[in-house]
């Protein structure tokens, strides 16, 4: 479960059709995957929050739309171990290597492989 500070921010960031438990699962999974490389939990949570689009007003709208669509593909991830493994397998090394919020590149394909990508969707 994300820290209480992030739990509230996640609730505020849910797109239509998203569940808090699923978003929290993705958040916690990405924080855990980063742990061997980044031992400062608060900073890692901030980075993960920005990458996954927890409420931060300065994200480009195109990135926000793409990431919301990506997260929606993982509906039910908090209750399905196969889907959880699929999410972990979508994480690219760059999502683990970002050291600060200032290093984030607003290009979702840098951080995640999107196996459901259709030509009509924005994934850049």
Interval 23-53: pLDDT, tens: 999 999 999 999 999 989 999 999 999 999 9
* pLDDT score for 120: 56
d(CA 12, CA 23): 11
Structure tokens, 66:
């793409």
pLDDT at 57: 78
> Cα–Cα distances in Å, from 58 out to 8, 50, 82, 85, 111?
18, 10, 33, 30, 18
Distances (CA, A) of 10 to 5, 42, 60, 89: 9, 15, 18, 22
pLDDT the model gives residue 116: 80
Domains of the chain: which residue ranges? 4-111
Mean of pLDDT values over 47-70: 90
The pLDDT score that the predictor gives to residue 52 is 96
């Amino acid at each position: 479960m994300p820290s209480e500070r992030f739990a509230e921010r996640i609730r505020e960031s849910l797109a239509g059709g998203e569940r808090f438990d699923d978003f929290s699962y993705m958040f916690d999974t990405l924080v855990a995957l980063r742990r061997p490389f980044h031992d400062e939990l608060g900073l890692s949570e901030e980075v993960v929050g920005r990458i996954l689009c927890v409420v931060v007003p300065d994200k480009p709208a195109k990135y926000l739309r793409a990431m919301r669509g990506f997260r929606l593909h993982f509906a039910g991830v908090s209750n399905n171990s196969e889907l959880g493994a699929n999410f972990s397998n979508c994480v690219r090394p760059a999502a683990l290597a970002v050291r600060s919020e200032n290093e984030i590149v607003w290009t979702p394909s840098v951080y995640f492989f999107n196996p459901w990508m259709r030509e009509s969707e924005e994934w850049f």
